[in-house]
Structure 1
Amino acid sequence: MKADILVIGGGIGGTLAALSAARQGNTVILTEETDWIGGQLTAQAVPPDEHPWIESFGCTETYRKFRNSVRDYYREHYPMKEDAKAVGHLNPGSAWVSRIAHEPLVAKHILEDMLQPYRSNGQITILFDTRTCSVDMDKDRIKSVYVRKEEKETLKLEGEFILDATECGDLLPLAGVEYRIGAESKEMTGEPHALEVYQPDDMQSFTQVFALEYRPEENHVIEKPEMYEVWKSYQADFLDHLQLSWNIPDADTGKSKKFRMFTQGEKLGLWEYRRIIDPELFQEGFFPGEISLINWPQNDYWKGAIIDVNEREKDKHLYASKQLSLSLLYWLQTEAPREDGDSGYPGLKLRPHIVGTKDGFAKHPYIRESRRIKALETVVEQDINADVSPYEGVRSRKNSVGIGAYRMDLHPTTKSHRLFYARSYPFEIPLGALIPKRVKNLIPACKNIGCTHLTNGCMRVHPVEWNIGESAGALASFALERGLNLKEIYQNEDYTSAFQQELKKLGIQLHWPEEVGVI
């Protein structure tokens, strides 16, 4: 199969890369290893993590359209109460970590609708349940990508540009693209909070997310998980509390911070953290119970990495991480201390239909950290961390291809087990972060751009990955239309400026207004 552009990976970045390229008149083959496009929003079941200005500015036009469409979808298709419909910034789950916590399936429908016109006219072809297995190279160019659907015949894909939008940067080792994983050293990046010695196996924890409904009058206790006793008694040597408890690690202090199940006044509950359905917003009785996506510190898995390890090691950690999530559920159902002095919430019920699986777990683990290309430009801590930045505000990038804002935020890592959380300035994404140092026709399209272990914590969030993917698709299109290579665009100010004008036409904001400050 041939197309102008291949997009390998159908997460947020890949979906938007395909849309962006198609809008510019190109044909695209998009592959996805699950049967849902949308990545974090859908197959990984993670409601949007966003910055404080998101309702007014600070995202691309298509991301704004997506958010508006989510709200309109509920208003138009669900039996909502009239006062709930009238809320401008409708939050279907009334969650406190996301202003627009909603069902993965709703996100899936909207993303599919965005791509549908280009699937109808043949510009976009999507290959679901498809994994990459090898790559053909011609010196510094990717000639073809071989993919396979389950155990079926291998398919050869060809395109002028290949975008890696996989969750772990899977194309990079196959194509021999120079990359890094894990935690760089101070010598490598010059970052004040980098490690003294490079630890490639020190990566952020990942999470097996699952969907629950709460029906307090019922009993839905699952069978005791095989590793429950292991996880019930587990206490990491870098924490002062058990993994299965109401305590979570506080990155600001390095100590424990106590939560509860349900919010009460100013005391926040974890249940509402990523709640996606608040029945109070809908007509009486339509939803029997509240629905929440369980992506908590208690089911962060840091016992080992699943990138650049053998299959046996990877399978071991995937199994143990799912056992951790199952153990958290069983603990919540049977042993979790309650405010009324009792223990357990047996009415918690797995909801498979919410995530499109048989067992109620997301189709894919939530991956926080990927392989990252060695790029012409690398975004480092000093560009974002307000406590060490020399720029006294947002670092303005003359060659910006988009913007983002999120606190530098590392969940416990697999080797050093450290957490990191810093006051941060919003940032602008430099063009050079999307261009590998050597390979000529590969473009990263998600959190695998030129960033570091520390700054990756800002790149992984939804609106940033969306922007990266959209700009990556536009970059491939611009290069194709002009007959240019990526380094020519980067090195020539006129070409860079012309590309930026194309981004503006697509509705991609390149610079932050002056009034933004530290988050």
Structure 2
Amino acid sequence: MTAFTEGFTMSEISTEVLIVGGGLGGVAAALAACRAGRTVVLTEETDWIGGQLTAQAVPPDEHPWIESYGAPASYRELRTAIRDHYRTWYPLTGAARARRELNPGAGYVSKLCHEPRAALAVLQALLAPHLASGRLRILLEHVPAEVFADGDRLRAVTLWGVRTEESHTISAAYVLDATETGELLPLAKAEYVTGAESRDEHGEPNAPAQYEPLNMQGITYCFAVSYHEDENHVIDKPADYEFWRSYRPDFWPGPLLGFLAPDPRTLEPEVRTFDPRPTGDPLAVNADQSANAGGDDLWLFRRILAKGLFEPGAVDSDITLVNWPLNDYWLRPIIEVGADEAAAAHREAKQLSLSVLYWLQTDAPRPDGGTGYPGLRLRHDVVGTGDGLAKSAYVRESRRIRAVTTVTEHHVSRDILGTHGIHHFPDSVGVGAYRIDLHPSTGGDNYIDVASVPFEIPLGALLPIRMRNLLPAAKNIGTTHISNGCYRLHPVEWNIGEVVGHLAAFCLKRGVEPHAVREDAELFREFAAELDAIGVERHWPAPAGY
């Protein structure tokens, strides 16, 4: 017993599948394993399941065909349930209620911009039957502390309560790492990679010349705001405001706290607009980033509640989600560094986001020649925290397993594969589509934004080279720093989690190991048939699907 755990209440739990991390991948994995009849323990560091969709407060980033194909059936069911949540409980206008593809926020980033709590309610409802049956147990506000292994197999994981003096050692046949940063990998001494691989390792055109293990995309503490014209909601001046007010990165066209920022694709200076009183019809918004990226309008881009979609008087303002170039934080990495430095990074990232808000409220230039929008109100209620910032940072990049198959830029780049090219993996277990979108990094890189083509998810990228029963279920699969840029968004993480949860259940049923499912053609055909039956799309529609 350590000094830290002295006085803790300790228990031992046995289950078939342990899922550490309750983000989208973790929830999808839990649903898949439970639906297959397996017992599951799901743990989560915060008090909200849902990861980037809820605790990180990031509206879904999706490809333009998401309403019809290009994601598992269960992911589209999730999206339908979120829309039904609004139709059931919110006073929508008749026109909004009748809209099949209802977009509650009418934001440009997604055809389904919505509040974090709406997604949380739906995810909780999806898991409720399995909690009632006893197949599922959820441990909120728990973090992994120790891993017990016998050779290449994990035997158990100990988790500590974040706010309570309790500790659980959970033994399981399969352990799924669905954490945001691949936290189990170093604890298990599994082989993994961080940061940016060298160009020589995989021959990727956009990789750096040398391996840069601490070069990772920045994190963001998102927050939500509404606007109330004749009110004053100015927050206390953040402690680090003067630093951030004067901070100008070498590769930025002006101060970070400003409406001038690089265009991610061209790196040319681009002026962002900000008007918290939009007058357009929210039903007229076409959320298709392939036609209109929409990121130049900061208020509309990630608007998560559009006042005009609700009956008069129901809501008194739009609500928008601030996840902008202004509050990306890249001064320090948060993984592969000491605890003190990681804590400093999180504190500084929070200070940056609060400084962005204070700047908007007091110093931001207005079209009328004045400065500041004091009527901007920080919406603590929307994100469920005391400080008004999301419960956890939006983490774009994780530790990544050394996998049987590593997906590289060569498998996804449009420049390499051609406009209508798709790299087909014989062991595909899913699909996705998104640009190679890397944000400014801790290594001093500007945006790396490269056109890509729709892609497949190979089973080999979900299999560690050595560990037999430890599986990745989030952004920690076998991608590179470059290819991670398009495998990291909501529908792909859900797809990964669902497949890995089903894989664990399949292996328990058949008495085989995950690697054998890929190596044995008959086993893979059987597993693939089960994925097909539950609506996991493994290939894009012929001939190209886009």
Task: Please list, as runs of the form range in 1=range in 2, the aligned pairs for 1:297-336 lying within 5 A after superposition.
Answer: 297-336=325-364
Offset, 1:154: 2.2
Of the candidates 150, 159, 169, which is equivalent to residue 156 of structure 1? 169
Of the candidates 352, 373, 379, which is equivalent to residue 351 of structure 1? 379
Q: Higher mean Cα deviation, 71-80 or 507-516?
A: 507-516
Supply the distance in 2 between the matched residues of 1:203 and 1:264 (Cα, whole angstroms): 39
Supply the distance in 2 between the matched residues of 1:291 and 1:393 (Cα, whole angstroms): 39
Supply the distance in 2 between the matched residues of 1:25 and 1:253 (Cα, whole angstroms): 50
Q: Does 1:458 align with 2:486?
A: yes
Task: Please list, as runs of the form range in 1=range in 2, the aligned pairs for 1:48-67 lying within 5 A after superposition.
Answer: 48-67=60-79
Q: Does the 8 A contact of 1:63 with 1:466 survive in 2?
A: yes
Q: Percent identity?
A: 48
Supply the distance in 2 between the matched residues of 1:274 and 1:391 (Cα, whole angstroms): 29
| 1:172 paired residue number | 185
Q: What amino acid is aligned across from residue 430 of structure 1 in structure 2?
A: P
| 1:366 paired residue number | 394
Offset, 1:418: 3.0
Offset, 1:433: 0.5
| 2:532 paired residue number | 504
Q: Does the 8 A contact of 2:253 with 2:261 survive in 1?
A: no
Offset, 1:416: 3.3
| 1:68 paired residue number | 80
Supply the distance in 2 between the matched residues of 1:111 and 1:74 (Cα, whole angstroms): 14
Of the candidates 248, 253, 266, which is equivalent to residue 235 of structure 1? 248
Q: What amino acid is aligned across from residue 128 of structure 1 in structure 2?
A: L
Q: Does the 8 A contact of 2:475 with 2:493 survive in 1?
A: yes
Supply the distance in 1 between the matched residues of 2:504 and 2:418 (Cα, whole angstroms): 33
Supply the distance in 1 between the matched residues of 2:516 and 2:297 (Cα, whole angstroms): 52
| 2:8 paired residue number | none
Offset, 1:517: 6.5
Task: Please list, as runs of the form range in 1=range in 2, the aligned pairs for 1:120-519 lying within 5 A after superposition.
Answer: 120-150=132-162, 152-262=165-275, 268-389=296-417, 393-516=421-544
- The 3-state SS of whatever aligns with 1:330 is helix
Encode CA deviations 1:266-304: one digit per residue, 9 max, x unaligned.
984201111111111101111111111111110000101
Q: Does the 8 A contact of 2:224 with 2:378 survive in 1?
A: yes
Q: What amino acid is aligned across from residue 19 of structure 1 in structure 2?
A: L
Supply the distance in 1 between the matched residues of 2:65 and 2:229 (Cα, whole angstroms): 37
Unaligned residue ranges in structure 2 (runs of 5+): 1-12, 281-291
**TM-score normalised by L of structure 2:** 0.93
- Sort the Cα spacing of 1:146 and 1:468 in 2 relative to 1 into closer, same or farther, 3 A: same
Q: What amino acid is aligned across from residue 39 of structure 2 in structure 1?
A: T
Offset, 1:241: 1.3
| 2:3 paired residue number | none
Offset, 1:391: 9.6
Supply the distance in 1 between the matched residues of 2:37 and 2:44 (Cα, whole angstroms): 22
Q: Does the 8 A contact of 2:437 with 2:486 survive in 1?
A: yes
Q: Does the 8 A contact of 1:393 with 1:517 survive in 2?
A: no
Supply the distance in 2 between the matched residues of 1:248 and 1:86 (Cα, whole angstroms): 38
Supply the distance in 2 between the matched residues of 1:100 and 1:194 (Cα, whole angstroms): 33
Residues paired across the two proteins, number: 518
Q: Does the 8 A contact of 2:103 with 2:114 survive in 1?
A: yes
Moved over 2 A (4+): 262-268, 389-392, 514-518
- Sort the Cα spacing of 1:168 and 1:376 in 2 relative to 1 into closer, same or farther, 3 A: same
Supply the distance in 2 between the matched residues of 1:439 and 1:132 (Cα, whole angstroms): 18
Offset, 1:514: 2.7
Supply the distance in 2 between the matched residues of 1:324 and 1:140 (Cα, whole angstroms): 42
Offset, 1:208: 0.4
Q: Does the 8 A contact of 2:17 with 2:39 survive in 1?
A: yes
Q: Does the 8 A contact of 1:411 with 1:420 survive in 2?
A: yes
Supply the distance in 1 between the matched residues of 2:279 and 2:313 (Cα, whole angstroms): 23
Q: What amino acid is aligned across from residue 40 of structure 2 in structure 1?
A: V
Q: Higher mean Cα deviation, 91-100 or 167-176?
A: 91-100
Q: What amino acid is aligned across from residue 111 of structure 2 in structure 1?
A: R
Q: What amino acid is aligned across from residue 260 of structure 2 in structure 1?
A: N
| 2:7 paired residue number | none
- The 3-state SS of whatever aligns with 2:414 is coil
Supply the distance in 1 between the matched residues of 2:234 and 2:451 (Cα, whole angstroms): 41
Encode CA deviations 1:428-451: one digit per residue, 9 max, x unaligned.
000100100001101100110000
**TM-score normalised by L of structure 1:** 0.98
Supply the distance in 1 between the matched residues of 2:408 and 2:15 (Cα, whole angstroms): 35
| 2:26 paired residue number | 14
Offset, 1:264: 8.0
* Structure 1 vs Structure 2 CA RMSD: 1.4
